Structure 1
Amino acid sequence: MHFLRSAIFSLLAGTSLARPGSQDKISTAKQARAAGYALKEPPLTTPWTDKVGTDPWPEYPRPQMQRSQWQNLNGVWQYQNASSLAAVQNPPFGQDLAQDVLIPSCLESGLSGVQGEYMIYSWFSTSFKVPKDWHGQSILLNFGAVDYEATVFVNGKKAGFHRGGYFRFTLDVTSFLKPGQQNELLVFVHDPTDDGDYVIPIGKQTHRPSHIFYTPCSGIWQSVWIEAAPQNHVSGLDIDGNMEGQVNMTVHTSSANITTSVQVVVHDGENVVATYRGPTNQPFQFKVDSPKLWSPSSPNLYNITVTLGKDQVQSYTGFRTISKGTVDGVVRPLLNGEFIFMFGTLDQGFWPDGIYTAPTKEAMVYDLQMLKSLGFNMVRKHIKVEPELFYRACDELGLLVIQDMPALRPIQSRTLPNCTSQTILPNAAQQAEFSRQLEVLVNQHKSFPSIATWIIYNEGWGQLTDYYPEFELTDRVKQLDPTRLVDSTTGWYDHGAGDFSDNHHYANPQCGTPFYSTSSSPYDDTRIGFQGEFGGIGNNVSIEHLWNNQNAINTINQTYEIDITLDAWNYRSHLLLSELQDQVRLFSCSGGVWTQTTDVEGEVNGLMTYDRRLSRVDEDQWKADIQGLYDAAAARSNGTMSS
C-alpha cells in the first residue's frame, strides 16, 4: 500500500496539514458533541469527522469581500421535517423544533445529526443577538448556500426568498431586528432534487444513488453569518487583473442607481503599489506597474482595500491573462501569453461524513494540496460549486480551476402512457432558470484568479436536443466574463460551440487525435483539443475504506476497469498517462482530466479512497508521468505563435 508522505504537504509558508496515516484509528463517529446534538455514524468517516465539534467552519466565508464587523451563526440550530410546500404558509414561530442540527451541513449527512432520506421540506431555526456597537448600521444576513429554495423569516416576518442550491445570497434584515434582544431566525427549505417532474441544477445528487450518482444534500450546507455595514455599502466586487497590470473593476453598491466615488488601494505585502479613485456601479480601469504575475508555478496575489464612505472591505486579485492562440499550427490555451498544458483531476467534492460539506477547511484543502504535491496544475470542479474558501485555496496554491455549471437532472427518463420511454429534459421555464443560475455562477466567481474555464454542459445532461442552447449560453457567458475560456459541451453532444473540442473516453485517452469513438466527436482543429475525462480505472479495497452501503458496494463492478492490486493499478495508470503523452507529442492534445481525486460511494477509481486514509498512487511514478506531459507539451510547441 502506498501512503502519502507528510513531507509533500509543506506547500505554503506557514501552512501544515496533519496527515492521516495507517496508524490512525478508524473513527466510530459516536462521540456526543453537545447536549441535544450528536453526530450520527455515517457509512464511512474521515480523519476530520471527530474534529468538527459544534463550532464548524469558523473562518470568514467570503474571502473576496471581507468585513471586520461580522458574527458567525454556524453551530447547533434546531430542525424539523415539514410535510409539504404549503407548510411555508404556517411558520412555527416561537416554537422549539423537533431536534438539533449542525449548521452548515447536509441533512443527509452524519455530521448534521439527522442523516435522513428524502429531506424535501424542512424548517431550521436559531436566534442571534446583534452587538451593541453595530447600532445605526445596516445588518446583513448572509447564506453561503442553501439547497435548493430558502424562505427566510426574522422575528415572525418574511425577510426574503432565494432559489439556487449553489450560490450565496444576502438579506438586509435591519428593519426586522429587535435591538438588544434575541432575534428569531427561521428558514424554510424546499429541496426537490430529482423528485417528480423537477428539472433543476443538481449535479450528481439523486434520491436513488447508484454508482456514479450519489447521496443528495439538502438544507443549509454552507456558512451563515451576519455583518454590519453603512446604509450605502459595497454589495459586490468584480475584479480582473491582467498580465499587463491593468485592473478592470466594478464596485457594486446597495444604492445601485446612485453613482458615487470609491477608493481602491492595491498592496503587495506591506507596500502600496497603486491607489485609484473610481465611480461605483460602473466599470473602471487602472494600472499596476510591473506586477508579479499569477501562475501555477508562482501564485502571486495582491491584497486590495476598497473604501466607500465609512464602509471598507478587503479583497485581492492575481495578475494573469487567460486566452487562446495558435502555436506551431495548433490552437492552444494560453496563460500569460504562453501555452499551458492543463492537467488535473475530476474533483467531485463529496465527503462520506458531510456529503457536500467538507468536515473542515483543513480537510477541503488537504485534497487540493495532495493534487498540487503530485504535480497537477489544475482541478476540474465537477458539476458542483464549492464554498468560496475552496477557490481562495486554489488561488493560493496555484491550481487552475475548470468550473462546471451543476448539471440539470442527468440521464433520467420517464415512461409515457403509451409505454415508451422519454428522456427527462427541461421545459422552457426550467431552461430559463438554468440560464439564470449559470449567470449567477459566473458573476459570483469571475474574480477568482485561478478559474480558467467555464463548462456549461457535461455529457449532454439536461442539454436540449430540439435546438442547440449551448451557442446562446456560450455567448452570454462570454459577455459576462470575456477574460476566460468556455468549454460549452464537455464530452458530448458537441455542435461546435465554445473554445474546446473536448473528448471523454475511458479508460484510454483520445485527445486531439485523428481517431475517436462514436460516443464522442472527432477532433475539431479550429478549437482546443482537450481530454475532458479519461482514466477511471479502479482498485477495490477492504470494507474499512468503503462507503458501507450494500447498494453502493453492489455497483463497484460497474467501474470501467478493476485492477486487482495497487501495483497493477499504478502500472495501468502509467500506461494511460504514457499514451496521453504520446498524443501530446504526436497530435494536438492541450490538456486532460484524470478521473478522479477520490473514490465516491460506489466508485473506487480515486487517487485516494473516499475516507482519504489510503492513497493508491506511487508518488515517484506519478510525479514523473505528470512532468512528462508538461515536457512533451513544451517540446511540441516550440514553434511560432499567432493569436
Structure 2
Amino acid sequence: MKKTGKREFVSVLLGLFCLQAGHLVAQQPAVWQPVGNKIRSAWAENIDPKQPLPEYPRPNLVRSGWQNLNGSWEYAIAPGKLGTAPTGYDGQILVPYAVESSLSGVGKTVGKDSSLWYRRTIAVDKDIRKQRVLLHFGAVDWQCEVYVNGQKAGSHEGGYDPFSIDITSYLKKGADQEIAVGVWDPTNEGPQPNGKQVVNPHGIWYTPVTGIWQTVWLEGVPETYIAATKQTPDVDQRKLLVQAAVESAKEGDQLRISAWKGQEKVAEETAAVGADVSLSIGNAELWSPSNPFLYDLKVSVLRKGKVVDEVSSYFAMRKISMGKDAKGIQRMLLNNEFLFQYGPLDQGWWPDGLYTAPTDEALRFDVEKTKAMGFNMIRKHIKVEPARWYYYCDSIGVMVWQDMPSGDLGGNHWDMRPGITSGKQHDKDRSAASEAIYRKEWKAILDALHNYPSIVVWVPFNEAWGQFKTVEITEWTMKYDPSRLVNSASGGNFFPTGHIFDIHNYPDAVMPRPELFGNDRILVLGEFGGLGLPIEGHTWQEKDNWGYQSFKNVDELKNRYKGLVSDLARLIPLGLSAAVYTQTTDVEIETNGLMTYDRKVIKMPETELHQWHQQLYNTKTD
C-alpha cells in the first residue's frame, strides 16, 4: 500500500473505533476546566472533556473491539503509599492528563509521602463483555495497583511502558463496574527512571508527572488471542522475521501471516503457533525519510482452518548499520548507504499537558514541523511517547534515536576523558534494587517499541546520569536487539563499547577526533546549539528564562544558527555522521527551542530552515 493509502486505511479504522469510543464517555458531565495561569497551546481549546484523546491508541496492533475510558474520573490524594483505597474522593480529574498538569483540571502535586487514587464506574460494551476483557493502560507513572469492583486485579511498575490486565473474572453481573487505580510516584526522590521530572523544578528540570498520562481503554479478545507481535526486517536477505505471542493456544493451532502492498498480497506463510515465521519480500520497497513506505501485515490464529483471532499491523523494510568510508572512518548507514542524520533534541513536554499532548493533532504537529524544517531525525530525549507518536514518525518519515529515561542520579561522576576503559569510579554504584528497576524497565521499553521502523538508535544512558555497568548494559542491548545501533552513553562517560562515540558541546558544532575514534565507532555530536530566544507572551515565566546562548531578536538567532549549520557541513567530510540540535521547543524556563513552548511561534521560518539543512545531506564524504 502506498503511503497515502496506508494512512487512509488507518484513518478509516480509527474513525470506526472513535465512534465506539464515544459510546461511554459521551454521558460524562462537562465539569472540566484547565487550571493555573501558565501559557497553553492552541489545542487546549479543542479538547472535548467528554471524549479527550479518543483515537485508537495502538496503531501497530489493531482490533475492532475496544472502548475508550478517557474522560472524567474521581480522584483523591491520600497520605502514605499504596494500600487501601480511600473512602472519599476530592473531586474530578480529566484522564489521561497527569494530576500536576493544567489539563487535568486539578493542578496539584502528590509527592513520595502520598498516593494518588482514581475511581470510575463504567458500563462495558455488550460486544466486549461477551469476550475476555482486557484493561489497557498506555502509561502510568510510576507504581500502580488496579482494583475492579473492590478486588485487586493487578499491579505494575514502570512509568513509560504500556501494560494490560485481564479483568474478565472480576466483572460482576449488571451494567455497572467500578475501576479504581492507586498510584505512588517518588519522582526524583526514588531510584526509578523519571526523566526530567523533579520535586522542585528549576533550570533544565521540570514539573513532576504523576499517575495516568496515556489512554486507558478496554479491549475484547477471544479465549485464544494474539497478545503481541514482533517483526524484524532483513533488508539484505529481503525477508521479514515475524514472531507472535499467543495466549491460551491449543495443540494444532496455526499462525497465518501475510504482508500486503496496498491490495496486493506480497507474501504469506502458515506455521505452528510459537514458530518464527520468515516472509520473503521480493522487490522490497525500502523505507527512508524520503520514502517512508509502510507495508501492511495481517496475523491470524487458525484452528482447524477457521480464524480464531486476527490483528492488523504494519512494517517497513529498513536497515540501520555501520560501515567504513573510503578513508576508513566508520559511518552510520541507512539501507547500506551513508545518510547524514540531523535532528532536534525532542523532550516531548507541553505547557498544559506536561507529558501528554493536548490532542492527537498536537502530537502529530511536532513530527510534521520537524520534517517541514528539513530535519530527518529526532532524538527522543529521556522520555517515551505514546504509540501514535511513533506511528507518525514511521508514516511521515523521521528517524528516531530513543533514549532510556534517566533515574537515580545522585552521586554521579562524569569523566569524558577518552580511553577510560576500566575502574568503576566512572560508573555509578547503584543498589541492587535500583539496577533491577532499570533493567526491567529498559527491557519493557525495548519490547514495546521494537516494531517501529523509525527507531534506528537506542540510547541507554545520557550524560552519565545514573550511568552504571556501561559495558554490560550496552552489550546486553546490542545482543537483545541486533537490528539497531546502540549509542551507549550520549555525552556521558566513554567506554569502548557500542557502535557510537557521542560528545555534547554547547553552543558550537564540534566532533570527536577521527584519528582516535573513527576507526571503531561512528562519530556523532549528540547535543549542541541551545540558542535561546524568549518570545514575549509565550514563555513559562515572565523573566529569568534561560538558553545556552541567548539572543535579542530573530535576525541574530538566524545568523548564529546558519553559522552552526555551515560548521556541521565542514565536519561531515572529516567523519561526522550525525548531530542533534537542542531543541524542538522551549520547555518551562528553557527558551532554546525552535518553537515556543506553546507551539504558537516558530522562531525561524521553516522554509528557510529546510533550505539551510539541505547542504548537510548533499555534502560529499570522499
Structure 1 residues 524 and 325: alpha-carbon distance in aligned structure 2, compared to 1, 3 A threshold: closer
Deviations 1:234-260 (A, max 9, x none): 111101223243011110022389783
Structure 1 residues 388 and 572: alpha-carbon distance in aligned structure 2, compared to 1, 3 A threshold: same
**2:76 aligned counterpart, secondary structure:** strand
* Contact residue 36 and residue 99 of structure 1 kept, 8 A: no
Give the equivalent residue in structure 2 for 1:62.
58
CA distance in 2, matches of 1:247, 1:79: 46
1:89 CA drift (Å): 2.8
Structure 1 residues 156 and 322: alpha-carbon distance in aligned structure 2, compared to 1, 3 A threshold: same
Task: Identify which range, 255-264 or 217-226, moves more after superposition.
Answer: 255-264
Structure 1 residues 107 and 424: alpha-carbon distance in aligned structure 2, compared to 1, 3 A threshold: farther
CA distance in 2, matches of 1:189, 1:529: 42
> Structure 1: which 5+ runs fail to align?
1-9, 17-32, 415-422, 516-521, 638-643
Task: Identify which range, 237-246 or 363-372, moves more after superposition.
Answer: 237-246
Identity over aligned residues, as a percent? 37
* Contact residue 408 and residue 466 of structure 2 kept, 8 A: yes
Matching residue's letter, 1:532: G
CA distance in 1, matches of 2:447, 2:95: 26
CA distance in 2, matches of 1:235, 1:259: 18
How do residues 253-272 of structure 1 correspond to structure 2 at under 5 angstroms?
Answer: 253-255=246-248, 260-272=253-265
Give the equivalent residue in structure 1 for 2:16.
none
How do residues 104-119 of structure 1 correspond to structure 2 at under 5 angstroms?
Answer: 104-119=96-111
Give the equivalent residue in structure 1 for 2:418.
none
CA distance in 1, matches of 2:581, 2:352: 24
CA distance in 2, matches of 1:530, 1:256: 46
* Contact residue 317 and residue 447 of structure 1 kept, 8 A: yes
Residue in structure 2 matching 1:40, options 24, 35, 43: 35
CA distance in 1, matches of 2:252, 2:612: 54
Give the equivalent residue in structure 2 for 1:214.
206
TM-score relative to the length of structure 1: 0.86
Give the equivalent residue in structure 1 for 2:331.
332
Q: Aligned pair 1:596/2:583, yes or no?
A: yes
1:592 CA drift (Å): 0.5
1:412 CA drift (Å): 6.5
Give the equivalent residue in structure 1 for 2:505.
505
Task: Identify which range, 134-143 or 213-222, moves more after superposition.
Answer: 134-143
CA distance in 2, matches of 1:523, 1:166: 34
1:132 CA drift (Å): 2.2
CA distance in 2, matches of 1:624, 1:357: 31
Give the equivalent residue in structure 1 for 2:295.
302
**1:628 aligned counterpart, secondary structure:** helix
1:449 CA drift (Å): 0.7
**2:580 aligned counterpart, secondary structure:** strand
* Contact residue 107 and residue 119 of structure 1 kept, 8 A: no
How do residues 536-615 of structure 1 correspond to structure 2 at under 5 angstroms?
Answer: 536-542=530-536, 544-548=537-541, 553-554=543-544, 556-557=545-546, 559-585=547-573, 587-615=574-602
Residue in structure 1 matching 2:150, options 146, 156, 160: 156
TM-score relative to the length of structure 2: 0.89
* Contact residue 269 and residue 303 of structure 1 kept, 8 A: yes
Give the equivalent residue in structure 1 for 2:217.
225
Give the equivalent residue in structure 1 for 2:445.
441
How do residues 58-97 of structure 1 correspond to structure 2 at under 5 angstroms?
Answer: 58-85=54-81, 88-92=82-86, 97=89
How do residues 116-195 of structure 1 correspond to structure 2 at under 5 angstroms?
Answer: 116-120=108-112, 121-195=115-189
1:181 CA drift (Å): 1.8
Give the equivalent residue in structure 1 for 2:240.
247
1:282 CA drift (Å): 3.9
> Structure 2: which 5+ runs fail to align?
12-27, 303-307, 414-426
Give the equivalent residue in structure 2 for 1:377.
376
Give the equivalent residue in structure 2 for 1:399.
398
1:523 CA drift (Å): 4.1
* Contact residue 530 and residue 590 of structure 1 kept, 8 A: yes
CA distance in 2, matches of 1:48, 1:598: 16
CA distance in 2, matches of 1:495, 1:89: 43
CA distance in 1, matches of 2:45, 2:517: 48
Structure 1 residues 259 and 80: alpha-carbon distance in aligned structure 2, compared to 1, 3 A threshold: farther
Structure 1 residues 177 and 452: alpha-carbon distance in aligned structure 2, compared to 1, 3 A threshold: same
Equivalenced residue count is 580
Give the equivalent residue in structure 1 for 2:616.
629
Matching residue's letter, 1:146: V
CA distance in 2, matches of 1:181, 1:579: 65
* Contact residue 132 and residue 180 of structure 1 kept, 8 A: no
* Contact residue 155 and residue 177 of structure 1 kept, 8 A: yes
* Contact residue 63 and residue 389 of structure 1 kept, 8 A: yes
**2:558 aligned counterpart, secondary structure:** helix
Q: Aligned pair 1:53/2:48, yes or no?
A: yes
